[in-house]
Structure 1
Amino acid sequence: MSLHPTDVGHRVVVRRVLTGPDAERPQFGDVLGELIELDAERQCVVVRTPTAEVVISVADIVAAKRIPPRRVKDLELERIAALGWRGSDTEQLGGWHLRAAGGWTGRANSVLPLGDPGVPLDEALNFVRSWYADRGLPPLFQLPLPATRRLARSLEERGWRDLRGALVLTAEIADLRLPARDLPPVTITGEPDADWLAAYHYRGTALPDVAVEVLRNAATPGFASVRQDGRTLAICRLTVDEGWVGITAVEVDPAHRRRGLATHLLAGALDRADAHSVYLQTEPENTAARAMYEKLGFTQHHVYRYYGAA
C-alpha cells in the first residue's frame, strides 16, 4: 500500500479485492473519495465517498494512491459561495438567483445566473429591472467567467456595462503553507461583537446597519479575531458549506501590518474548520494580497465581473 499519513484529508483511489481467496478469478473494485483515516491498529483505511464511509482492510488492497482534487467548476463554486454571503431578500427566476440587501456589497445585491432563467432573455431582464426597482436598487449581475461569457456578450449588446470584478482564489487546506507565528491566539465567535464590527471597514467606510444582517446571514458564520491588550489587531469572517471554507472580511489594523497577522488569522480560522478546501476573493488591483495568498499556496480559480444596466 502506498498511502501515508500525509495523504489523510486528500482524495485517493483504492483498488481492492472483492472476491474471497477461493475464487477462481478474483474480482476487483475501486473506491474513490477522501482518505479520512489510516488505522494501524485495525489494519484498515477509511475512505469517505459521496454516499458512505468505506472501511477497507489493508489485506484486501491491491493498489492505492493519492489523486488530484476534483475540479469544481466556476458556477458550482459560486453556488457554494452564495450560501456563505447571502442577500436578505431573494427570489429565483429559473436558474437565476436574485439577491438584495439594502445595496450593501455587490454579491448580496446582484443576480447570480447559475442556469437558464426559463423565459426569453429580454423578458428575464425586464423582470430583473422591475425586481430591483421595487427595492430601490439598480439592476446588477454577478457573472462568473468564463462560464457566463455568452450572457456577458448578450448583456453588452443590450447596453449593459462591465463595472468591476474580483478574482476567486482557492486551495486545498492540507496543501497550504501557513507558517507558525508567535502571536496572540485566534478566537472565533458565532456573532460579531462591537470591537469586531468597529475593525471592519468595507471599502474604507463604516458599516451600515444592514451589514450586520448580511454578515450574520449564513448557516454557521464564524467571526475570527486576534486581540492584544484589549485591542483588535486583525479580523476575518468564515463560513463552511459543502466542505468549503469561505474567507471574507479580512482586515488588519494598519498600525500592526507586516507582522504576519493575516496568515496567522487564516491559519487559526482554517484549523477549526471541518472542510477540505478554501476560497476567497480579492480585487485584481490588490497585488499585495494576491502575492501573499499565492505564496501560501492559493491559485486563481476564476474571475467574476459585475454588469450594470446602462
Structure 2
Amino acid sequence: MGWEVIRVKMESPTPLASDIGQRVSIRLREDGGLRDILGILEALNSVRKKDGSLEKFDPVHIAAWRIVSPVSQKAGTGAPTSIRINEIEQSLENTWPAEEIITRGGWRYRLSSGFTYRANSIIPFGKLPLGQPLLPYSEEIQYAIKEFESRGLVPTFHLPLPAYAELDEALERDGWELIIDAHILIADTLDIPTPPLAAEFTFVVEDYPSDQWLAVQGDSVGKKIMSAYPAKYISISHRSELIATGRVADSDGWAVLSRIFIKEEFRGKGLARPLLGELVKNSPSTKSALQVDISNSPAIHLYATSGFRAHHIYRYRSYKG
C-alpha cells in the first residue's frame, strides 16, 4: 500500500504528545546531511519502523516532519485475487449472519432456518484448491451431508470462483447439482451516482426492518437474520405506501447492498438509481458490493451503468441424494 501526505505541521517544529500513535515521516539533520525515517510515532523521540525496529532520534535534529496516511485503494485491488475474494465474501457473510457457524478446517458451515442459501451453506476459505476441510475430502463430504440433513436442510455449497474451481469440479463429479450462479459486483462508492427522486416520491430511512419494509417483497421470514447485524433499511414511499426497498450494512470498509427491490408496477419510473444512491449515502464505507443472479440481465445492466463492475462469480451446488 502507498502513502500520501495529509498534513504538514508548520505550526510545530517537532511532533506533539497528541501526535503519538500517528504514522509520521521525519527528516533529520545528521552529520552534515539529511536522513528520513518513516513509521509510527511511539514517543516524542522514537518511531516504530515497518520492520518492527524502534528508531530513536534527538528532536532537536528535526528539519521537517509530516503525518502520513495510507492511500485509499480502489475497490477490488491490492491483494491477490483469492485473498480479495475471501475478503469480500467474509464481508457479505458478516452482514448476513447465519444463526450458527461451525468451522471445520478451512470450511465454514453456516446453518440457519433455511432462509437464503448464504445462511445455509458451506463456504470454503482455506488453502486452495479444496479449502482444507478438517477431514479428507470424501469423509468431510459425508459429514456435511449428515450434518445438514439432520437439521432438515439441503446440503449446499457456496463456491467462490475462480478461486475454488477444483472443489466445484469435484462436487460436480460427485453429483452435486448446480442451483445458482451469481455475480459479486463492486464499486468505489464515489463512482455511484446519487440522482434525486421525482417529487411524488420520498425516501424513508430506518435502523430496523419494519413490517412495512418486509412486506414489500415478502421478507418477513428473514427478519431474524437481518436484525442480527446493524444496517440501514431504505424505502421509497409513494402516497404513504412503500413501493421499493434496499438494505445497506457495513463490514471492514465495504458497504454491502442487498434486498434491492421495486414493485413491478413502479419499475421503469427512474427509481432504481436514486435508490442505489440513497443506500450508499447512508454508509460511511468507501467501497460497495452487491450480489446479483447471473441471469438477471436488467439488474446487471443497471449496476454496470451505475459504477459497478464484476469482481467474481459464486455458485451454489446442492446434494439431492
Give your verdict on TM over 0.5: yes
For the pair 1:82 / 2:93, whether they are aligned, the reply is: yes
User: Percent identity between the aligned chains?
Assistant: 25
CA distance 1:197–1:64, shift in 2 (3 Å)? closer
Paired residues of 2:248 and 2:282 also in contact (CA < 8 A)? no
Per-residue deviation, 1:23? 6.2
Distance 2:185 2:214 in 1: 25
Per-residue CA deviations over 1:198-242 (Å, capped at 9, x if unaligned) read: 102xxxxx44x5321122122x12211111321112101111111
Per-residue deviation, 1:247? 0.7
Per-residue CA deviations over 1:245-286 (Å, capped at 9, x if unaligned) read: 111111112222222222112211211211111100111111
Per-residue deviation, 1:151? 1.0
Question: What amino acid sits opposite 2:290 in the alignment?
Answer: L
For the pair 1:96 / 2:107, whether they are aligned, the reply is: yes
Tell me the secondary structure at the aligned position of residue 247 of structure 1.
strand
TM-score, normalised via structure 1 length: 0.78
Question: What amino acid sits opposite 2:166 in the alignment?
Answer: R
Once the two structures are overlaid, the 10-residue window that deviates more, 129-138 or 118-127, is 118-127
Residue 304 of structure 1: which of 308, 311, 314 is its match?
314
Per-residue CA deviations over 1:119-163 (Å, capped at 9, x if unaligned) read: 211121111111101111110000000111121122123222222
Question: 1:13 is matched with which residue?
Answer: 3
Per-residue deviation, 1:290? 0.8
Per-residue deviation, 1:171? 0.5
Tell me the secondary structure at the aligned position of residue 18 of structure 1.
strand
Question: 2:59 is matched with which residue?
Answer: none
Per-residue CA deviations over 1:15-39 (Å, capped at 9, x if unaligned) read: 68522356634334568xxxxxxxx
Once the two structures are overlaid, the 10-residue window that deviates more, 184-193 or 263-272, is 184-193
Residue 167 of structure 2: which of 148, 151, 158 is its match?
151
Question: 1:166 is matched with which residue?
Answer: 182
Per-residue deviation, 1:64? 10
For the pair 1:231 / 2:221, whether they are aligned, the reply is: no
User: RMSD in angstroms over aligned alpha carbons?
Assistant: 2.8
CA distance 1:279–1:65, shift in 2 (3 Å)? closer
Distance 1:144 1:289 in 2: 21
TM-score, normalised via structure 2 length: 0.75
Task: Give 1 or 2 for the bigger CA radius of gyration.
Answer: 2
CA distance 1:65–1:101, shift in 2 (3 Å)? closer
Per-residue deviation, 1:86? 1.9
Question: What amino acid sits opposite 1:117 in the alignment?
Answer: P
Question: 1:137 is matched with which residue?
Answer: 153
Tell me the secondary structure at the aligned position of residue 225 of structure 1.
strand
Q: Structure 1 unaligned segments of length 5 or more: list them.
A: 1-10, 32-58, 201-205
Residue 125 of structure 2: which of 114, 129, 132 is its match?
114
Q: How many pairs does the alignment contain?
A: 268
Question: 2:55 is matched with which residue?
Answer: none
Q: Describe how 1:214-293 pairs up with structure 2 within 5 A.
A: 214-218=225-229, 220-293=230-303
Tell me the secondary structure at the aligned position of residue 204 of structure 2.
strand
For the pair 1:27 / 2:38, whether they are aligned, the reply is: no
